[in-house]
Structure 1
């Protein structure tokens, strides 16, 4: 066999000799084996540049905690909405139920999954599209348009009206058994199709499956309230809101947000996604009748401009990013210079990839959603540091909030959601009129936060 295709003892000897000939490698080995990569690569001077004071800042209330669940997109969405309730009724803090949309999302995603399975029955089970559908049919993750669809249909409620359960705080078992059931149903639907069943019969089978999904969800999360009583007291302990509401009534009265005003801006500089075009993602969604997602692809600077305009109006901003890149979790710092990985290992690991290449080669995509609640500016009036509301509780970062360097924003922020009035008129018109380009289901812009 050609020795260039396999690892030889000589190759190992050469690599070993090169490693131990450099004392810095030995120091790095000893440190990393004892403390881990990020702790050793941490750059203290960058940590020292962080601040707790911001030029523009939205006050949000107590930090929320998604615990062991993938509901960051829900927490981020609800955290932008709760601000309106707090302002309207002069509350010191407030939380909307995160278990409530989780219930309806799981139900709607199950229906969405079954419809996609029915639609792809003619394809082989090992086709890329069917394999993709079966991989993770009931993920905790989501995107803004999916949350908008849930709220439009089901409304919201205070946390007290549908509190957390063991299965909402830790969704592992719920997801495991629901996923297994959905895959079993997918097999039965495909088998029935192969035996000549009509689409109408497959949908009648789906109705039975959905009753079982509903039963599983009530068992794990409790019954969502049809109505609930509300008593909100303001900062002076005066009764600010009292009454009985349905979830849709409470959203209309307390949140009072026009969901159609809020749109998704993405920034993906890959060759297949020209800027100033509108995109959607095939088979991405949850509520069937609401359709899928819709984005306009803009430069990072345009995303920043819209976010800053909304922050200056004292409104927080939902955003999606690749959170673990160049991230110091304990300090809550997202900064390209916070970790010096390449010096630690002695060769380029972080350098060499630009944003487009990271997306094309599977190195980066949106993994987490949070809320922008502040920004600092440099001497030239350009953003330098952003304040971030996370949903990991108050025991990390600076009492639960993180900071995000502006250079990190350029590289790892992929999506922001803003009121369309903060966009230039030509971008608004484009978003509303352009026929969307349909991306593949596995496109990185279809990743779920």
Structure 2
């Protein structure tokens, strides 16, 4: 390496002298070393602008808690569905089981993984694709399209029908041992193929492996109910729904939502993803027979307009974002003005990359899914502040809710899921007929919402 790139003693002496020469640097050092970067960069005036009052607001039941699991996308999806149940039956609160879809997602992801291993037998083990497949085959994270696939196949159940277990509340051990087993399965399949085992015999091996996976998941999460009893009473203690249901019957009766009407809109302003086109991500999905994900890429303003329209019709909005950016987690505030990191250090740190550059250079991607449940609007209908239901329990933020400034939406919201009726005719036509462009498995738009 070129010696001109070496950090010399003279360089260090000059940097040290420059730092000490500015009083602001010394004050910043004292504050950060005592309190941390975010606490020192917190802007109280901006925090004060994040009041919990909204022009448009969807009322929800009690806050849910994903605990030590990466099931945020499931909680967000179920929260949009339970809202319909609460409203339809005039309930005080209601919660759908999050353990139930967790069971089926793990099962289907294992099958998806083994199918991908069988499909890549000719790929080198140390190549980027197989290494990627092996890196995290059944993580807790997911996308709306993946949840839709689960609901269409397996339905939903009330929380009482399949309650939380030690392994659903904290998925770390379960994921660790199941991942180890799957990597062992991958080795057996690849070595068997190299030894000349027939394709039919490899499929028989895969079916046997899936039997073991089912055994593993039942041990950790319990067996999903095939049928269950329901008794729902409204706010006035009147019995409003009773009977015996399968999970699919309960979804049709209680939720009554056509999940195929809901589409994923993303906003990725990078050169490789022109707006107005439809994208999928190679090798990303869970239910093999239902395919993978499908996104329509639009400017961020269109995501906002569609989200506002759905909220105004009384329906919450699933969305995905990079939650840890410019975030005061304890206070539940996502606002680019609430943290002045660049002012603290005296040079661009957060401001050194724009939205597209953050995606291109690995600085940002979707990490967390939540639910938009309110918005403030200017006189001309432009959003200024959004109300967010998180899935970290009622003790987080303000009674389990966060706020999200519109400037933060511009920078760090990457996806919303809305009813297709909120799209323009041209957008619906593109979503339905546009030739799908395939992104690499490691593209940032293939990230899975999974923050614990």
Matched, 1:57 2:33: no
Q: Show the counterpart of 2:110.
A: 110
Correspondence for 2:261: 261
Structure 1 residue 277 corresponds to structure 2 residue 269: no
Change (3 A) 1:397 1:42: same
Alpha-carbon distance in 1 for matches of 2:193, 2:113: 16
Map residues 156-235 of structure 1 onto 2, 5 A cutoff.
156-235=156-235
Name the stretch that deviates more: 373-382 or 397-406.
Answer: 373-382
Q: Over residues 188-212 of structure 1, what are the superposed CA-to-partner deviations in whole Å (9 max), with x where a residue is unaligned?
A: 1111111112222111111111111
Structure 2 distance, partners of 1:213, 1:15, is 57
Query: SS where residue 65 of structure 2 aligns?
Result: coil
- The aligned residue for residue 149 of structure 1 is 149
CA distance in 2, matches of 1:198, 1:4: 59
Cα distance, 1:236 vs. partner?
0.4
Could you tell me how far 1:8 is from its partner in structure 2?
Answer: 2.5
What is the count of residue pairs matched by the alignment? 449
Q: Following the alignment from structure 2 to structure 1, what is the Cα–Cα distance between the partners of residues 22 and 346?
A: 10
Matched position secondary structure for 2:351: coil
Report how far residue 2 of structure 1 moved: 4.8
Q: Secondary structure at the match of 1:264?
A: strand
Listed one character per residue, the Cα deviations across residues 396-428 of structure 1 (whole Å, up to 9, x for unaligned) are 221111111111111111110011011111111
Deviates more, 1:408-417 or 1:198-207: 198-207
Give 1:430 deviation, angstroms.
Answer: 1.2
Tell me, in whole angstroms, the C-alpha distance in 2 between the residues paired with 1:84 and 1:429: 28
Deviations 1:66-93 (A, max 9, x none): 0111000000000000011011111011
Q: CA deviation at 1:100?
A: 0.4
Task: Determine the C-alpha separation between the residues in 2 that align with 1:385 and 1:411.
Answer: 14
For normalisation by structure 2, the TM-score amounts to 0.98
How far the C-alpha of 1:268 sits from its partner, in A, is 0.4
Q: 1:294 maps to what in 2? A: 294
Deviations 1:122-165 (A, max 9, x none): 01011111111011101100000000000000000000000011
Q: CA deviation at 1:435?
A: 1.3
Larger displacement relative to structure 2 (143-152 or 22-31): 22-31
Query: Residues of 2 paired with 1:373 and 1:339: CA distance?
Result: 24
Unaligned runs of 5+ in 2: none
Give distance in 2, aligned partners of 1:250 and 1:379: 42
Separation of aligned partners in 1, 2:30 and 2:220: 46
Corresponding residue for 2:379? 379
Separation in 2, partners of 1:367, 1:158: 27
Q: Please report the RMSD computed on the Cα atoms of aligned residues, expressed in angstroms.
A: 1.0
Deviation of 1:12 after TM superposition, in Å, equals: 2.3
Secondary structure of the 2:7 match is coil
Tell me by how many angstroms 1:17 deviates: 2.2
**Does the residue aligned with 1:351 lie in a helix, a strand or coil?**
helix
| In structure 2, C-alpha distance between the alignment counterparts of 1:36 and 1:233, rounded to whole Å | 49
> TM-score when scaled to structure 1?
0.98
Show the 5 A alignment for 1:8-407. 8-407=8-407
